[in-house]
């Protein structure tokens, strides 16, 4: 995930390079950490067949991730061959512009530390489990991989235009919490969902949240919550749709959107292509 946080950053930033990367220092992971990783993987892998999109499932099955926290180097050889992406070890969240620069150069920042056992079900900041399990399989998909790079380039531009909040909402509702409409039904491709034991079911099965067709401008004005399950999920019909809808220059979009108000996370609009109208009792902003 990316995003702002109002508490002190977790992670050791004392050894960062100019681009915020560090050594993964794989040998420093403890036996307990590898064990916790295995438990996280076992729980999540059991849910993936039912809730994850096939692009994610197909790649996950080929990654040797279950024995313990993976060595990024080993994955990098395969990722380079598949889509020319690479993983870059980082101590945790990095500044927006640094994050965008990495993506624009097909480098995905992966946090090196693992959560504590008490955070098995829930963690506020991205750790290596979220970053790796949630994001890495999708980087093997050629169209999604290109989307991520385009997003990074768009981020550098949005930063110059003072529009990163609008662009961050797109990341949130696609890369982190996106759903895709498939022959099997709605499936998850967003990393925030795929790395969550609770939300992976909730997003597809719960009657509470709205599920609405992908709409670029609508998403860029929809606020989101970072500490609860999402109240609205946006559904793409394919990765080509996502890539093509985001290809045009966003500068005029940012201009137009500045004149419009923001939408609450739970709000539905008459123009929405509704897959499911949420029935959550509390629909307040
Ligand atoms: N087309 C966007 C722009 O001009 C860049 C972008 C591509 C942003 C894909 C997000 C995702 O800013
Ligand atoms: Fe993430």
The predicted structure's pLDDT at residue 6: 56
For residues 193-221, give the mean pLDDT.
97
The predicted structure's pLDDT at residue 9: 83
Query: How many angstroms separate the most distant Cα atoms in the chain?
Result: 55
The predicted structure's pLDDT at residue 5: 55
85-129 pLDDT tens trace: 999 999 999 999 999 999 999 999 999 999 999 999 988 899 999
CA distances (Å), 196 to each of 25, 41, 121, 141, 181, in order?
Answer: 26, 11, 7, 21, 20
The predicted structure's pLDDT at residue 124: 84
Report how far residue 45's alpha carbon sits from residue 66's, in angstroms, rounded to the nearest whole number: 9
For residues 245-253, give the mean pLDDT.
98
Please tell me which residue, 193 or 5, carries the higher pLDDT value: 193
For residues 238-264, give the mean pLDDT.
97
The predicted structure's pLDDT at residue 12: 95
The predicted structure's pLDDT at residue 168: 98
For the CA of 157, the nearest atom of ligand 1: 12
Segments making up each domain of the chain, as ranges: 26-276
How does strand 86-90 pair with strand 274-276? unpaired
What is the DSSP track for 152-207?
HHHHHHHHHTT-HHHHHHHHIIIIIT-EEEETTEEEE--HHHHT-TTHHHHHHH-S
Ligand 1 centroid – CA 262 distance (Å): 20
Bridge partners for 211 per DSSP: 233, 276
Mean of all residue pLDDT scores within the chain: 95
Reply yes or no on whether the pLDDT at 249 is more than 50. Answer: yes
123-179 pLDDT tens trace: 889 999 999 999 999 999 999 999 999 999 999 999 999 999 999 999 999 999 999
Point out the ligand nearest to the CA of residue 151.
1
SS (H, E, C) 43-105: HHHHHHHHHECHHHHHHHCCCCCCCCCCCHHHHHHHHHHHHCCEEEEECCCCCHHHHHHHHHC
Reply yes or no on whether the pLDDT at 285 is more than 90. Answer: no
Tokens coding 96? 């927006």
247: Cβ below 6 Å to ligand 1?
yes
Reply yes or no on whether the pLDDT at 244 is more than 90. Answer: yes
The predicted structure's pLDDT at residue 200: 97
Out of 33, 130, 231, 266, the active site residue is 130
The predicted structure's pLDDT at residue 4: 53
Report how far residue 59's alpha carbon sits from residue 177's, in angstroms, rounded to the nearest whole number: 19
- Planar angle of CA 82, 88, 92, nearest 5 degrees: 135
Reply yes or no on whether the pLDDT at 8 is more than 80. Answer: no
Ligand 2 centroid – CA 270 distance (Å): 31
> What are the counts of helices (DSSP H) followed by strands (DSSP E) for the chain?
13, 7
Reply yes or no on whether the pLDDT at 34 is more than 50. Answer: yes
CB 161 within 8 A of CB 257: no
157: Cβ below 6 Å to ligand 1?
yes
In CATH, the architecture of 26-276 is Orthogonal Bundle (1.10)
Query: 132-141, 170-179, 210-219, 273-282: which range is least confident on average?
Result: 273-282
């Amino acid at each position: 995930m990316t995003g702002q946080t109002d508490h002190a950053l977790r992670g050791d930033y004392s050894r960062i390079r100019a681009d915020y990367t560090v050594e993964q220092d794989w040998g420093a992971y403890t036996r307990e950490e590898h064990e916790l990783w295995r438990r996280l993987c076992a729980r999540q892998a059991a849910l993936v067949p039912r809730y994850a999109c096939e692009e994610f499932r197909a790649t996950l099955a080929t990654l040797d991730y279950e024995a313990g926290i993976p060595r990024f180097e080993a994955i990098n050889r395969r990722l380079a061959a598949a889509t020319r992406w690479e993983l870059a070890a980082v101590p945790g969240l990095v500044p927006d512009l640094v994050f965008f620069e990495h993506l624009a150069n097909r480098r995905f920042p992966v946090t090196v530390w693992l959560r504590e056992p008490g955070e098995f079900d829930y963690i506020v900041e991205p750790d290596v489990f979220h970053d790796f399990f949630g994001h890495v399989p999708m980087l093997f998909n050629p169209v999604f991989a290109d989307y991520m790079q385009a997003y990074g380039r768009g981020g550098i531009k949005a930063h110059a235009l003072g529009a990163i909040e609008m662009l961050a909402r797109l990341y949130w509702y696609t890369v982190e919490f996106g759903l895709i409409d498939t022959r099997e039904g709605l499936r998850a491709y967003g990393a925030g969902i795929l790395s969550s034991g609770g939300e992976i079911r909730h997003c597809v099965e719960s009657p509470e949240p709205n599920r609405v067709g992908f709409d670029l401008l609508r998403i860029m004005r929809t606020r989101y919550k970072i500490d609860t399950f999402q109240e609205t999920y946006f559904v793409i019909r394919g990765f080509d749709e996502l890539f093509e809808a985001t290809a045009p220059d966003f500068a005029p979009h940012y201009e137009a959107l500045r004149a419009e108000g923001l939408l609450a996370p739970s709000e539905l609009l008459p123009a929405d292509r509704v897959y499911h109208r949420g029935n959550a009792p509390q629909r307040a902003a």
